[in-house]
A and B are shown apart, each in its own frame.
Chain A
Amino acid sequence: MDLRLPSKVLEHIFSFVDSNEDRNSVSLVCKSWFETERLTRKRVFVRNCYAVTPAAVARRFPGMRSLTLKGKPHFADYNLVPDGWGGYAWPWIEAMAEKSPSLEELRLKRMVVTDECLEKIAASFKDFKVLVLTSCEGFSTDGLAAIAVACRNLTELELRECIVEDLGGDWLSYFPETLTSLVSLDFSCLDSEVKLSDLERLVSRSPNLKSLKLNRAVSLHALGSLLCLAPQLVELGTGSFSDKLDQEAVSKLAQVFTELKELKSLSGLWDVLPEYIPLLYSVCPGLTSLNLSYATVQMPDLVELLSRCSNLQKLWVMDLIEDKGLEVVASSCKELRELRVFPSGADVDETNVALTEQGLVYVSEACPNLESVLYFCAQFTNAALVTIAKNRPNLKCFRLCVIEPFASDHETHQPLDEGFKAIVESCKDLQRLSVSGLLTDKAFEHIGRHGKKLKMLSIAFAGDSDLMLHHLLSGCESLNKLEIRDCPFGDTALLENAAKLETMRSLWMSSCGVSFGACKLLSEKMPKLNVEVIDEHSPETRPDSSPVEKIYIYRTVAGPRMDMPEFVWTKHKNPEIGVSHLAIE
């Protein structure tokens, strides 16, 4: 008896399977399930653009409507990946234009996107709706104009922290009068002024507009008139909040804010003047997300604002909030889930010393739903970490950046080993961890032993020896991404745990003691990995014993990549000549 379900029935069943993790499992069951699943998958996520070829993805998922791609490794955010390393969007866009012209959504993170890419998108995908570029670079405002003019059904255009060649604000005027479908627009990372009248007209003809994030150049005065046209906004990113307004304008603006009944998320607020903080009071009770990373006001003003945000779930703020301010957050924002505290100075010596470990302890005590933390701080103690761990065993993401490298517990002068031990022991569901401060190999022994659910781990200026890496690679079962900088281990642990690397998405190591010889050996041993040695200052002929600057190792089914710059070495390059064999052929 043939027990196979007809594919139409399978298709119908699979249409209820949303998560890609589940779909990946489904596709492993048998051939017919694999076939049916691939034909019905609409949203495709490729978390490393070099792990698979664009052609293979296009072939496998002919019904693709949405593609999400990530390019450069995470440490590229902090200037650790040299320019020209890679992460080009073009081959993907070209392949999709040919094989998946029904593509509607493209979300790219840390990729190089050129104007040609944007023009190709505009020309190739007739029903294109969503373009979200996060931490991307390589394009200019001309490319944006191409998207604006051609994508008739555009609903989302978001540029999140991109580096854009800004040729002026004209691009906005290219949105045709017929475009009325806009739901989300984010141009907060651009510098140039856009023409206010164009922006006002765009906003007035977009009844579905829910999210608007302006750039710094949009004045406070302009904000007033824009908000009058879009009282239905759920997310607002203001421009500069610092123009001098007269009394009449101020009260008009206050009135406008009271009309924003749906507002849940607020950001921008560049250079906000203390006297304008009260303008925001009316929206505070409704806010679930508040991003004050650019609001350089002092603690008393921040406290006035935050004490009114009783429903806040996500708070990003500068260390200007100080311990006292976090105490107020702890008592006022009981729904808090995510807290990020950024440094207010770009250099180590400029950290605000009125923010200490105590601030985070307050919040961990009082906010039962706190599960995600990013905290920049001048110093920390083991006692504080132990307390935080005890208070918040439900933490899923804990990223502590003690800004001074190798800083020990400032009370006991001990390494922070015990503190991080408490964190990994107590927080059984911890998925992401960043460690800092003075740490010995013992800290990593604890992490290896207890961090069983840990997927992503970031380490800087820590450890004593190879043991550190060995503990992590042999202990952390769920480890997916490991990024390490300035740690003193060598070759042994890496080579001994080579097999582990195939179970992970990627490993980044920079300024560690790994030798060129070890990299070559690893390459030979593990053909399913791309072992990239990134070394901008290396001589043409490199002795095997010399330590390499940076290594990026990732699993791939795509084989060696064809777009490597000269400062990236893989085993496919002739180390003597420094030229890729493939290029010669």
Chain B
Amino acid sequence: MEICNSYSSSSVDSTNPSPSESSVNLSLSLTFPSTSPQRARKQDWPPIKPRLRDTLKGRRRLLQRDYDTCLFVKVYMEGVPIGRKLDLSTFSGYESLLENLSHMFNTSIICGNHRDRKHHVLTYQDTDGDWMMVGDIPWEMFLETVRRLKITKPERC
């Protein structure tokens, strides 16, 4: 541990460095525990619990997201020429996305798994250009690859 080694060698000497001296020494060799090059290890400073740490990291990712490949996507309903635009980052998951879309387009919409004749099905175009059924992949992954949404008539799928 870099910080400790530079300190313990100085404390073994009879003359202890003054605080300003030692902080200069340390800042030269300072590597915070989280970035120690010795091994990949979980971050342990500042002392916050894992769930808060993950939430903060997620928030940072969201804030730094490249807004060209953005979270605003176009949504079309089959048979309706005028589309809508939707910010996917405001939804917590598939359930809330579907609820909102159902409301927006005034019809019931479901994900791919439970399809039947009555309900519209939500599909999306991914980064490859392919049209896929919404709901198969984890939400976070979906946010990374979705480009646009289409609400299709049941028979089409």
Contacts and interface: CB of A to CB of B under 8 A. Distances in A.
A466 B8 CA distance: 10
Interface of B: 1, 3-4, 7-8, 10-12, 16, 19-20, 22-23, 26-27, 30, 32-34, 38-39, 41-53, 55-57, 59-60, 87, 90-96, 99-100, 103
Contacts of B95: 193, 196, 217, 219, 222
A296 interface: yes
Contacts of B87: 244
A214 B94 CA distance: 17
Given A193-B95, A216-B92, A405-B32, A486 B3 contact: yes
A528 B41 CA distance: 33
Contact of B23 (A293, A346, A406): A406
Query: Per DSSP, are chain A's interface residues mostly helix, strand or loop, or mixed?
Result: loop
A342 to B, nearest CB: 6
Interface residues of A, number: 64
A405 B23 CA distance: 9
B51 A408 contact: no
Q: What 10 A-B pairs have minimum CB-CB distances, sorted nearest first? A: A240-B92, A488-B7, A219-B96, A513-B8, A79-B42, A346-B56, A78-B47, A511-B1, A79-B44, A243-B96
A195 B32 CA distance: 43
Nearest to A220: B96
Contacts of A513: 4, 7-8, 11
A405 B8 CA distance: 17
Contacts of B51: 161, 189
A408 B20 CA distance: 9
Interface in A268-292: 270-271, 273
A322 to B, nearest CB: 17
Contacts of A240: 92-93, 96
Nearest to B59: A296
Contact of B44 (A80, A403, A408, A413): A80
A408 B27 CA distance: 13
Interface string A141-166: 00000000000000000000101000
A348 interface: yes
A239 B47 CA distance: 25
Nearest to B5: A547
A221 interface: yes
A346 to B, nearest CB: 4
A370 interface: no
A489 B10 CA distance: 11
Interface stretch (A177-185, A457-465, A551-559): A457-465
A161 B30 CA distance: 32
Contacts, number: 145
A368 interface: no
Interface in A338-352: 342-348, 350
A401 interface: yes
A415 to B, nearest CB: 5
A438 interface: yes
Interface in A198-225: 216-222
A403 B45 CA distance: 8
B46 A244 contact: no
A512 interface: yes
A440 interface: yes
A220 B90 CA distance: 11
B110 to A, nearest CB: 14
Contacts of A406: 22-23, 26-27
B139 to A, nearest CB: 9
Contacts of B39: 537
A343 B1 CA distance: 25
A161 B48 CA distance: 12
A321 B30 CA distance: 30
B91 A460 contact: no
A356 to B, nearest CB: 16
A218 B96 CA distance: 8
A187 interface: no
A243 B91 contact: yes
A77 interface: yes
B50 A490 contact: no
B103 A246 contact: yes
Given A78-B49, A343-B56, A486 B96 contact: no
B92 A242 contact: yes
B46 to A, nearest CB: 5
B93 A217 contact: yes
A196 to B, nearest CB: 7
Interface in A75-100: 75, 77-80
A444 interface: no
Interface in A451-479: 460-461, 464-466
A135 B8 CA distance: 34
Nearest to B55: A294
Nearest to B17: A464
